[in-house]
Amino acid sequence: MSDFSDWGDDRWILHIDLNAFYASVEEIRYPKLRNRPMAVCGDPEKRHGIVLAKNNLAKKAGVKTAQPLWEARLLSPDIVFLPADMESYIAYSRKAREIYYSYSDMFEPFGIDEGWLDVTGSVRLFGNGFEIAEKIRREIKEKLDLTVSIGVSYNKIFAKLGSDYKKPDATTVFSKKDFKSTVWEIDVSELLFVGRATTKKLNGMGIYTIGDLALCDRKILESKFGKVGGQLWSYANGFDRSAVRTVGKEYAPIKSVGNSTTTPRDLLTNEEVKETLYMLSDSVASRLRDSGFRAQTVEIWMRGNDLNGFVRQRKIDSPTCLSRKIAETAYSLFLENYDLTRRLPLRSVGVRAKDLSPLYGETQTDLFMNEATRMKLENLAFAVDRMRRKYGYHSIMTGIEMRDPSLPVISPEDSRKKGAGMYDLTPQR
């Protein structure tokens, strides 16, 4: 594997995947958990009951991602469940990316824990792609106490296959010269963008491996799957030439701020929904102010106890960071789109503020609120923020938050600890 003299002018593309990322970060924070089966999950007391990530001992016991917690407990009776801590995961992700950027500035994230790195322009400085991958793998382990699996190839699709091929803590190379003897033997379900439904259809056509897909008539695939069929055929044959799309060294600018909750019991009345929306909106507004933004679009999402849901949004008259304005808009959207007397009770509710603008920039005048009133309300909100920072979030609560003690009191701090979606950091293409 050390002789890459025939690589020629092909690109060197790495796909780097932080192994069992959430669980690995928790093992750094709580070293004793390295000797116990452990899984990162939602809050079982509030029905967020699925496994988000698991450590190696839990994996050996048969625990799988997205598995209900009760099933995981049957497989591993002594398993430890931890709530997700997204702030810690983002912090470690940033540290890992700083290491990647020391080898190349061409990095494309593929989630918080993986992404592609084009090191074609760096080989004269650091060695070939395999050597760079090995350096990154050692550096991640030494500096962060994490392990990564890295795929090295001449295109993004095969690099992704390589990082999945051998785990944990491994580097796998798929070259143009030998990929037919390696890649083509892999199950077709492992190819990027081939999901369960597509796998089932391909199996029905007698296609079980990536090689089967590559050798199939492209026109037959296109007649069955449309343009996607031709694209998958190109991927299987190693014809992918897509570029590593860089987004810069920092996470993309915040695009939205949101919060959601799965309630301890189903919401049966409009008043219960209203109370939940107001608590969520208070948390979202606090985050907006803390991040230095106002928002001009309010979005809600609702999910019934049959797990079916919907999303609705509305643009408001002028940007705001006030919880009451966000809550009123959210509740209005709910009333217009969901009738609890005719439809199923609600299980999950979310509020998101979008179309952000700087808090201290110019503000469009609100036709229904004069500037003096707006400033007074914002100053009051900032005063509440200061009090909550000093004495705790729950030291000041609105009346609506205290109506029903059986519903959760939601705060930004609680959401950070439990991994709720605080910010939308999706890279802007």
Would you say how long the chain is, in residues?
Answer: 429
Choose among 260, 347, 248: nearest CA to 299.
260
Tell me the HSE value of 115 on the side-chain side, using a 13 A CA sphere: 28
Catalogue the long-range contacts made by 130-134 (C-beta closer than 8 Å, 24 or more residues apart): 130/1, 130/2, 130/4, 130/171, 130/173, 132/12, 132/14, 132/103, 133/14, 133/16, 133/171, 134/171
Report the distance separating Cα 172 and Cα 187, nearest Å.
17
Q: Which residue has the tokens 């890295």?
A: 150
Report the distance separating Cα 420 and Cα 409, nearest Å.
14
DSSP element (H, E) containing 320: strand 309-320
Phi-psi region of 16 (alpha: psi -120 to 50; beta: other; left: phi over 0): beta
Report the distance separating Cα 177 and Cα 5, nearest Å.
11
336 catalytic? Reply is: no
Please name the residue ranges forming H helices in 205-256.
210-215, 218-225, 227-236
Among the listed residues 27, 114, 272, 275, the single catalytic one is 114
Q: Which residue has the tokens 């205290």?
A: 402
Asked whether 171 and 152 are in contact (CB, 8 A), the reply is: yes
Nearest-10 Cα torsion for 376, 377, 382, 383: 70
At residue 236, what are phi and psi to the nearest 5 degrees? Answer: -60, -30
Catalytically active residues are: 114
